[in-house]
A and B are shown apart, each in its own frame.
Chain A
Amino acid sequence: MTRTETSTVDTATLWGGKISPFSTSYGKLMMWFFLISDALTFGGLLVSYGFTRHSAQSAWPIGEETFNSLPFLGHGYPLLYVALMTFILIVSSVTMVLAVEAGHRMDKKGVIKWMIATIIGGFFFVGSQAWEWYHFIHGSEFGKIELNDGSRAIVKGHFGEIKNFTVIESGKHHSKGAVITKDLLHTYQHAALDGKIKDGTITLHDGSKAKINKAEDEHVKLIIKEDGANFSTGKTIEGMEAKKLYWEAMNSGIPNRVTYGANMKANEYGPQQYAQYFFFITGFHGFHVFSGVIINIIICIGVVMGVYHKRGHYEMVEKTGLYWHFVDLVWVFVFTFFYLI
Chain B
Amino acid sequence: MERDDIYEYSLDTHHSEEEGKKVRSKILKVTVILTLITIVEVAMGAFIKQGTGIWPIVKWSFIVMTLVKAAYIVLVFMHLGDEKKSLRYIILLPYLVFIIYIIFILLYEAVELDALLKLYMGL
Q: Which residues of A contact B74 (CB under 8 A)?
A: 325, 329
Q: In the assembly, what is the distance between CA of A204 and CA of B5, in Å? A: 81
Q: Which residues of B contact A47 (CB under 8 A)?
A: 99, 102-103, 106-107
| Interface residues of A, count at CB 8 A | 69
Annotate B56-70 by CB proximity to A: 1 below 8 A, 0 otherwise: 000100110110011
Inter-subunit contact A101/B106 (CB<8 Å): no
Inter-subunit contact A23/B84 (CB<8 Å): yes
Given contacts A11-B5, A18-B6, A332-B66, contact A51 B11 (CB under 8 A): no
Which residues 27-76 in B have Cβ within 8 Å of A in the complex? 27, 30-31, 34-35, 38-39, 41-42, 45-46, 50-51, 59, 62-63, 65-66, 69-70, 73-74, 76
Inter-subunit contact B50/A62 (CB<8 Å): yes
Say which residue of B12, B14, B94 sits within 8 Å of A23 (CB atoms).
B12
5 contacts between A and B (CB under 8 A): A39-B95, A50-B103, A50-B106, A55-B111, A329-B70
Q: How large is the interface on B (under 10, 10 to 19, 20 to 34, 35 or more residues)?
A: 35 or more
Q: Which residues of B contact A340 (CB under 8 A)?
A: 41, 45, 62
Instruction: With CB as the reference atom, state the residue of chain A lying closest to B5.
Output: A11
The number of A-B residue pairs with CB atoms under 8 Å apart is 170
Annotate A58-95 by CB proximity to B: 1 below 8 A, 0 otherwise: 00001110000000000000111001001100110110
Inter-subunit contact A325/B73 (CB<8 Å): yes
Instruction: With CB as the reference atom, state the residue of chain B lying closest to A68.
Output: B46
Inter-subunit contact A90/B46 (CB<8 Å): no
Given contacts A15-B6, A101-B23, A313-B11, contact A90 B35 (CB under 8 A): yes
Given contacts A22-B83, A101-B20, A104-B15, contact A93 B41 (CB under 8 A): no
Given contacts A22-B84, A78-B45, contact A97 B27 (CB under 8 A): yes
Q: Which residues of B contact A44 (CB under 8 A)?
A: 102
Q: Is A32 an interface residue (CB 8 A)?
A: yes
Say which residue of B13, B24, B63 sits within 8 Å of A336 (CB atoms).
B63
